[in-house]
Amino acid sequence: MDFEDTPEEAQFRAGVRDFLAKAAEPRPPGSGLVYRAGNEDPKFRERAKAWQAKKADAGYAGITWPTHWGGRGGSPIQQVVYDQEEAKYAVPRGLFDIGLGMCIPTLCTWGTQEIRDRFAGKALRGEEIWCQLFSEPAAGSDLAGLRTRAEPDGSDWIINGEKIWTSGAHYCDWGVLVTRSDFAAKKHDGLTYFFIDMRSPGIEIRPIKQMSGASHFNAVLFKDVRVPDSQRLGAVGEGWKVALTTLMNERHTIGGRVGAGVEDVFELARKLDLGDGPALQNGAVRDKLADWYVASQGLKYVNFRTMTALSRGDTPGPEASLGKLVNASMLQNIAAFAMDLMEQGGVLCDPNLAPVAGAFQQTLLTSPASRIAGGSDEIMRNIIAERVLGLPPEIRLDKTLPFNQLPTGKR
Q: What is the DSSP string of 37-67?
A: --TT-HHHHHHHHHHHHHHHHHT-SSTTS-G
**339 is in the binding site of which of other proteins, a copy of itself, none (Cβ under 5 to 8 A by kind)?**
other proteins
* DSSP letter, residue 16: H
Neighbouring residues of 368: CB distance < 8 A, sequence distance ≥ 6: 211, 332
Strand, helix or coil for residue 144: helix
The dihedral formed by the CA atoms of 314, 55, 45 and 211, expressed in degrees to the nearest 10: 20
Residue 392 touches other proteins, criterion: CB under 8 A: yes
CB of 159 to other proteins, least distance (A): 22
For a copy of itself, which is the closer residue by CB, 107 or 334? 334
Neighbouring residues of 284: CB distance < 8 A, sequence distance ≥ 6: none
- Sole binder of other proteins in the list 9, 40, 97, 238 (CB under 8 A): 9
Report H helices in 99-149. 104-110, 113-124
Residue 316 touches other proteins, criterion: CB under 8 A: no
Sign of CA dihedral 30, 79, 121, 164: negative
Site for other proteins in 145-204 (CB under 8 A): 145, 164-165, 187
Instruction: Tell me the site size for other proteins, rule CB under 8 A.
Output: 109
Compute CA distances 284 → 23, 36, 280, 281, 343, whole Å.
Answer: 48, 32, 9, 9, 15
For a copy of itself, which is the closer residue by CB, 204 or 340? 340
**113 is in the binding site of which of a copy of itself, other proteins, none (Cβ under 5 to 8 A by kind)?**
none
CB of 341 to a copy of itself, least distance (A): 13
Q: State the Cα–Cα distance between residues 287 and 306, nearest whole angstrom.
A: 29
For other proteins, which is the closer residue by CB, 17 or 381? 381
For a copy of itself, which is the closer residue by CB, 286 or 312? 286
- Sole binder of other proteins in the list 266, 357, 402, 404 (CB under 8 A): 266
Sign of CA dihedral 68, 255, 51, 243: positive
CB of 219 to other proteins, least distance (A): 10
- Sole binder of a copy of itself in the list 1, 395, 400, 408 (CB under 8 A): 395
Asked about 40 being catalytic, the answer comes back as: no
* Contact criterion met (CB below 8 Å) for 194 and 176: yes
Residue 389 touches a copy of itself, criterion: CB under 8 A: no
Residue 271 touches a copy of itself, criterion: CB under 8 A: no
Which of these ranges, 15-23, 139-147, 249-257, 279-287, lies near a copy of itself under the rule CB under 8 A?
Answer: 279-287
**382 is in the binding site of which of other proteins, a copy of itself, none (Cβ under 5 to 8 A by kind)?**
other proteins
Q: State the Cα–Cα distance between residues 10 and 60, nearest whole angstrom.
A: 16
Site for a copy of itself in 282-341 (CB under 8 A): 282-287
For a copy of itself, which is the closer residue by CB, 211 or 397? 397
For other proteins, which is the closer residue by CB, 244 or 290? 290
Q: Does residue 284 come out as left (phi exceeding 0), alpha (psi in the -120 to 50 range) or beta?
A: alpha
CB of 51 to other proteins, least distance (A): 26
Q: Does residue 57 come out as left (phi exceeding 0), alpha (psi in the -120 to 50 range) or beta?
A: alpha
Residue 272 touches other proteins, criterion: CB under 8 A: yes
Binding mask 16-55 for other proteins (x = CB under 8 A): ----------------------------------------
**First-residue to last-residue Cα distance in the chain:** 52
CB of 178 to other proteins, least distance (A): 16
For other proteins, which is the closer residue by CB, 50 or 406? 406
Strands 191-197 and 174-180: antiparallel
Compute CA distances 249 → 97, 211, 243, whole Å.
Answer: 11, 29, 10
**178 is in the binding site of which of other proteins, a copy of itself, none (Cβ under 5 to 8 A by kind)?**
none
Q: Which of 250, 267, 319, 386 is catalytic?
A: 250
Footprint on this chain of a copy of itself (rule: CB under 8 A): 282-287, 395, 397
Catalytic residues, by residue number, are 250
